[in-house]
Each structure stands twice: as C-alpha cells, then as structure tokens.
C-alpha cells in the first residue's frame, strides 16, 4: 500500500462521488434498517479495497478501513451526530441547531445534574427518530461524561 491514496480516488470519479455521498449525508441514515447499513458497509469496504489497490480476497476489508482511518458506517453516523451536537452546543452556531439542544432538567433530583444530558423529544414514527432534534440528542446522551465535557474539539478526533 502506498502512503498517498488520493490519486487513486481521483482516477475513479464515481468512487469519489460515492464516498462523498455516503460521508456527507450520514446523518440521514440514522435509524436505518440493518439491511441497508450492511449495504452501505459493503460499499465502503469495496471502496477501501479499490483505494488500496487490493483484491477482494487478499486482505480483510475491515483491516483496510482501519488502515485508512475510516470508521464503520454506523459508528461514523454516531460520530458525525455527536460532533455536530458538540459544536452546536459549545459555539451556539448554527442557531437553528443550537435551539434544539436543551439541557435536561429533572423534576426530581435522582441523578447528579453534572451528567450533561439533553432533553430528547418523544416521537412515534421512524421518520421522526431521524430528525436532528431526536437522533443527535440520543447519541449525545449515550456518550460518556468525559467526552461531553471536552473543551477542545480536536480532542474528539482522537477518540
């Protein structure tokens, strides 16, 4: 494997377009069916093999994705939602996203308030669960406290 993988992607514009579509629209895929997640993961695995110039049977696609520093599709979706929530929460920008992030105020003090939880609105439909105001807040609330209180955003990329 060569250290410079970008030229291989530029030689195949369909590959670059496919990956760009998957990576930039990942938040739309939250609460997608397992079958569709598996399809997207296969696309990413095949893309990793093409970028590295390795045949399908020569090396594990998981190892290739790891060497390229590509997260699995499901983990990438959670990462993008958590990062977007963090940036909106810390900077208050963009306004329309920051307005969706409301701190959880329990009626009874059963849990310490230092958990940095956010209020998740209730929704009945699968489509409603994909909204930023629901999906991002669920991901945020599932994070450990140490990640929620990081003061420097670049530290999130190390995890």
Query: Mind listing the pLDDT tens digit for each residue in 27-66?
Result: 677 778 889 889 988 988 888 888 888 877 777 888 888 8
CB 85 within 8 A of CB 139: yes
Output the pLDDT for position 35: 92
- Encoded tokens for 117: 């939880």
**Measured between alpha carbons, how far is 58 from 60 in angstroms, rounded to an integer?**
7
Cα 83 to Cα 11, 133, 137, 150, 159, distances in angstroms? 31, 14, 11, 11, 11
For the chain, first and last CA: distance in Å? Answer: 25
Output the pLDDT for position 158: 47
Q: State yes or no: pLDDT of 84 exceeds 50.
A: yes
Which three-class secondary structure state does DSSP give residue 53? coil
**Measured between alpha carbons, how far is 101 from 78 in angstroms, rounded to an integer?**
16
Question: If you average pLDDT over every residue of the chain, what do you get?
Answer: 76
Of the candidates 54, 50, 70, 52, the residue with the CA atom closest to the CA atom of residue 62: 70
pTM over 0.75: no
* Residue 104 binned pLDDT confidence (cut-offs 50, 70, 90): confident
Of the candidates 1, 7, 37, 12, the residue with the CA atom closest to the CA atom of residue 22: 37
Segment 85-105 shows an average pLDDT of 79
């Amino acid at each position: 494997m060569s250290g410079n993988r970008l030229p291989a992607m530029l030689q195949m514009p369909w590959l670059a377009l496919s990956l760009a579509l998957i990576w930039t629209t990942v938040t739309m895929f939250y609460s997608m069916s397992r079958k569709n997640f598996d399809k997207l993961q296969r696309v990413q695995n095949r893309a990793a093999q093409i970028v590295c110039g390795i045949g399908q049977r020569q090396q594990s696609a998981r190892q290739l994705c790891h060497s390229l520093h590509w997260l699995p599709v499901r983990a990438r979706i959670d990462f993008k939602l958590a990062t977007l929530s963090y940036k909106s929460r810390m900077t208050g920008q963009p306004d329309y996203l920051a307005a969706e992030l409301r701190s959880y105020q329990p009626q009874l003090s059963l849990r310490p308030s230092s958990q940095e939880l956010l209020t998740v609105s209730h929704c009945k439909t699968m489509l409603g669960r994909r909204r930023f105001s629901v999906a991002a807040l669920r991901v945020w609330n599932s994070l450990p406290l140490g990640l929620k209180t990081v003061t420097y955003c670049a530290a999130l990329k190390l995890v």
